[in-house]
Structure 1
Amino acid sequence: MNISRRASAGTMESSDAYIEIEPASELSIHIESVVKKQFGDKIESAVREVLSDCGVESAIVRVTDRGALECVIRARVETAVKRSGGGS
């Protein structure tokens, strides 16, 4: 499944995450987080898992995390995918 248009979900508030997704020819994930050193790998893994579950194989995904829980990040990614016209 490919992303058909640019979309976003979330906020820049504390304990939340802002997710941007847009069409691309390959999958690229960019993470900016106040806890990237400690949890960057976990955040990327969660994003990749949600994208895989939604059937997304190619997109540019930007994650701006402000200390969100993993469940929040997953929900924001799924919402952005659905808003972009992608997903199963």
Structure 2
Amino acid sequence: MKIQKTAVAGTMESSDIMVTIAPNEGNGMEIDLDSTVEKQYGKIIRRTIEETLKELKVHDARVHAVDKGALDCAIQARVKTAAYRASGEQSYQWGGEAK
């Protein structure tokens, strides 16, 4: 999946995460995380974002995530939604690996 434009998913509410994905052509994956639980869960949140994008076959993207204590399932859903919006894809793969 190719990221073509900037897109956002999520809110700044408690227990949610706002994910912004933008193109990063040829520069790989860059993740900027601002989290209320950074010290305890920062590595896990970053890994969840990376794995979700790998599952969607996204290779070049700049991700800015503002976390307010979201669970893994919420992080995955927000990352997928932002990626689909940013890519312009109309065929959604919500379960399992993307084709």
The 2-side partners of 1:58 and 1:24 are apart by: 5
Q: Which has the larger radius of gyration?
A: 2
1:21 partnered with 2:21: yes
For CA contacts below 8 A with separation 6 or more, give which structure has more relative contact order. Answer: 1
What secondary structure does 2:62 align onto? strand
The 2-side partners of 1:57 and 1:7 are apart by: 16
Question: Is the contact made by 1:54 and 1:86 (CA closer than 8 Å) also made in structure 2?
Answer: no
Deviation at 1:2, TM superposition (A): 2.1
The 1-side partners of 2:50 and 2:32 are apart by: 11
Which residue number in structure 2 is paired with residue 51 of structure 1?
53
Q: Which runs of 5+ in 1 are unaligned?
A: none
The 2-side partners of 1:12 and 1:81 are apart by: 18
The 2-side partners of 1:40 and 1:2 are apart by: 26
TM, length-normalised to structure 2:
0.84
Q: Which runs of 5+ in 2 are unaligned?
A: 90-97
Partner AA of 1:23 in structure 2: P
TM, length-normalised to structure 1:
0.94
Deviation at 1:85, TM superposition (A): 1.4
Deviation at 1:5, TM superposition (A): 0.6
What secondary structure does 1:39 align onto? helix
Fraction of identical pairs, as percent: 43
1:83 partnered with 2:85: yes
Deviation at 1:86, TM superposition (A): 6.0
| 2:70 maps to which of 55, 64, 68 | 68
Runs of 4+ aligned residues of structure 1 deviating over 3 Å after TM superposition are none
Which residue number in structure 2 is paired with residue 8 of structure 1?
8
